A and B are shown apart, each in its own frame.
Chain A
Amino acid sequence: MPGSRAKLPELRRWWRFALVAPLLLFLLASFVAPVLMMLSRAVIDRDLERVWPDSAVALRQWDGEGLPPEALARTVAREIRTARQEGTLNQVANRLNYDMVGSRSLLYATADRLHAGAPANGIADLARIDPRWERPEIWAAMRHADGPLTSHYLLAALDRRLDADDRIVNVPAEQAVFTNIYLRTFKISAIVALLCIALGYPVAYLLASLPERKANPLLILILLPFWTSALVRTAAWAVFLQTNGVVNNALQAVGLIDAPLQLIYNRLGVYIAMTHVLLPFFILPLYGVMKGIPPTAMRAASSLGAPPVRAFLSVYLPQTLPGVAAGAIIVFTLALGYYVTPALVGGGADQMISASIAFYTNQSLNWGMAAALSLLLLLPLLLMIFAGRTMVRTVPA
């Protein structure tokens, strides 16, 4: 838009910023700050420190070799008792349980015994309450949680953990779920993007080759789904794809199938509904790019004797690739974060990473985990968008 600035009436410089400032302040407060604060929970770890301030200090001073000094064990025992009285023990218990399963019951049982007057003058006393106090795992779990920063959530989001010797190891196979869910999320998004390319490219090509008088009414057929919310369109598919829904009834009526097909609550339903929801996001930008391609190059190619297919492949197609890349990246990145559509038309094995984020936010209340999963969703996405921007810069205006 060169020149657009010169056309407007002169305005003092600070006025220009004064016009933008309210929105910037609003977005900083209502969007940027909340997102950054949320993401910081992926690495910030103050649950133990908040409840056991003295133990946290002592844990940070300990070298972490084998069993801790007796003084540290006494501090922990004292703070277990205080936390039980103040009703804050569950915060530490939950945090330690992420690192070592069984920590919660160990802490509660120990707290009860200490409350009942059991001596707590060192590791030996604690071990009489529960022999696990003589093993390094629980102490390592405490050391991993001593704050203020932790790698626990990010490692867990990659199906890894720190063992008692601070080595990064794989979590047990039955707990290793996230790698699979991330791969599934990427796979579904990539397939939806490919489906959009396959369905959308010919349509955009046809629209761009028509005179505007004919193309504009057809464009409405793309804008209509674009304007209808993703939820409504997903709901429509949920209605149609039912076992006794319209699609199955129609297929049975024309005799193509004998028994109803399972079209919903599986991967097929997710692909159908997500492609439908995202296809306009691919067609519209590609159509814009194709409209900007002068027809003269194709005409020159064919007047020089290139057969139509050859002219298309070597002259037209390369000019549209930036548009294809832009549209595909838009579709892929939007698909990565989809929540509503897979939740409604997918089965349990078709849920994407956003469903896990929702689970840790609402049900398991493990916010550190939700933040780490979000961070690992956001990073590849920002990379894709950055790559997309670079590519789109080459699009003809």
Chain B
Amino acid sequence: MSACRSRSERAGRAALIGFSVLVFAFLVLPILAVIPLSLNPTTFLVFPEGEFSLRWYRTLAESPQWTHAFGNSLKIAVATTLIATPLGTLAAIGLAYMRSRAKTVIVALITAPLVVPVVVVAIAFYFLFAPLGLVNGSLGLIIAHSALAVPFVVIVVHAALRGLDTELLRAAASLGAPPLTILTRVLVPLIAPGVAAGAVFAFMTSFDETTVALFIAGPEQRTLPIQMFEGVREQISPAIAAAATLLIVASTLLLGAAELLRRRGEGRGGSATPDIGA
């Protein structure tokens, strides 16, 4: 598609670019425009005129509800990461050895939490945990989030394994290292960027997860997404814009870093960054 020859072709190209610019604006502007809204000193959801203020950020920082929710989300997301990352990494290494038939079945099972609607997952956990008394406790939420996060770890680490420089493994083998030593001392350090990227995805999956939390978290386990969901539902204030801004900045930094790690791990470009629907 290099040389545009005719005038109609150039016009078509211009229309394509113009349309795409509009779609890019639709995708990005709502996210970016939240930022100035959150800096607005008034109680209205308008763009600040001349004067910027951190008032709504102070409101968040001073609100026990928001800080408590932030602490809960952090705690649950860290625990989820600690469970999902080792489980997913080991499984990804094992999968890399497997042949097609067994692998297809296992991959289908591992990715099932991504396919089943979150609301179905949420009530399944609710029905399971309610009789066990785990509803209204962090443990249930951590287990549920780990199941939702683990596919991302497997996908990312598995991709990192495919981009591996196998000369190093062969070198270790030719120097007489037993397979297990090669795995732990050579392979795992080599895929470390992929594992780190997987860990970030696991963390963000839990940190951003809304639906399951709405069902099985009690008032004590209120997470940041629950706080935000109810804020939007009950009373939209610029504080919501401030919280949204913080979450946008956090996820962009973390997932941007994970994407860089992932690309370094795979040694090539690509675009399949996982995310989870709501």
Q: Mark A residues whose CB is within 8 Å of B.
A: 1, 4-5, 7-12, 15-24, 26-27, 30-35, 37-39, 41, 199-200, 202-203, 205-206, 209, 212, 216, 218-219, 221-240, 242, 244-246, 249, 276-281, 284-285, 287-288, 295, 298, 308, 333-334, 336-341, 343-344, 354, 357-358, 361-362, 367, 370-371, 374, 377-378, 381-382, 385
Q: Is the CB of A339 within 8 A of B118?
A: yes
Which partner residue on chain A sits nearest B15 by CB separation? A202
Write out, one digit per residue, whether chain B residues 251-278 have a CB within 8 A of any chain A CB (1) or not (0): 1100110010000000001111101111
Q: Is the CB of A35 within 8 A of B120?
A: yes
Contact A223/B259 with A37-B127, A337-B117, A370-B123 known, Cβ cut-off 8 Å = yes
When A and B form their complex, which 5 residue pairs have the shortest distance between CB atoms, in order from nearest?
A337-B117, A19-B94, A229-B208, A230-B278, A20-B94
Taking a contact as CB atoms closer than 8 A, the residue among B97, B113, B172, B182 that contacts A16 in the complex is: B97
Contact A295/B1 with A226-B275, A239-B236, A246-B47 known, Cβ cut-off 8 Å = yes
Q: How would you classify the secondary structure of chain B's contact residues: helix, strand, loop or mixed? A: helix
Q: Is the CB of A357 within 8 A of B123?
A: yes
Q: Which of B1-55 contact A (CB under 8 A)?
A: 1, 6, 8-9, 12, 16-17, 19-20, 23-24, 26-28, 30-31, 33-34, 37, 44-47
Taking a contact as CB atoms closer than 8 A, the residue among B146, B244, B256 that contacts A236 in the complex is: B244
Q: Is the CB of B33 within 8 A of A246?
A: yes
Most chain-B Cβ atoms within 10 A of its Cβ — which of A23, A225, A234, A280? Answer: A23
Minimum CB–CB distance for B66 against chain A, Å: 14
Q: Which of B128-179 contact A (CB under 8 A)?
A: 128, 143-144, 146-147, 150, 154, 161-162, 164, 166, 169, 172-173, 179
Taking a contact as CB atoms closer than 8 A, the residue among A39, A238, A378, A382 that contacts B236 in the complex is: A238
Q: Mark B residues whose CB is within 8 Å of A.
A: 1, 6, 8-9, 12, 16-17, 19-20, 23-24, 26-28, 30-31, 33-34, 37, 44-47, 83, 87-88, 90-91, 93-99, 106, 109-110, 112-113, 115-128, 143-144, 146-147, 150, 154, 161-162, 164, 166, 169, 172-173, 179, 182-183, 187, 204, 208, 210-211, 214-215, 225, 228-229, 231-233, 236, 240-241, 244, 247-248, 251-252, 255-256, 259, 269-273, 275-278
Q: Is the CB of B229 within 8 A of A340?
A: yes
Taking a contact as CB atoms closer than 8 A, the residue among A4, A8, A278, A374 that contacts B120 in the complex is: A374
Minimum CB–CB distance for B11 against chain A, Å: 11
- A-B contacts besides A223-B271, A236-B33, 19 pairs, CB < 8 Å: A9-B187, A10-B179, A19-B93, A19-B94, A22-B87, A27-B109, A27-B110, A30-B143, A30-B146, A31-B124, A34-B125, A221-B27, A227-B252, A234-B232, A236-B31, A333-B115, A338-B277, A377-B120, A378-B120
Contact A221/B259 with A235-B244, A337-B118 known, Cβ cut-off 8 Å = no
Q: Is the CB of B150 within 8 A of A27?
A: yes
Q: Is the CB of A235 within 8 A of B232?
A: yes
**Complexed CA–CA distance, A234 and B30 (Å):** 10
Q: How would you classify the secondary structure of chain A's contact residues: helix, strand, loop or mixed? A: helix
Q: Is the CB of A37 within 8 A of B27?
A: no
Using Cβ atoms and an 8 Å threshold, which residues of chain A touch B106? 20, 24
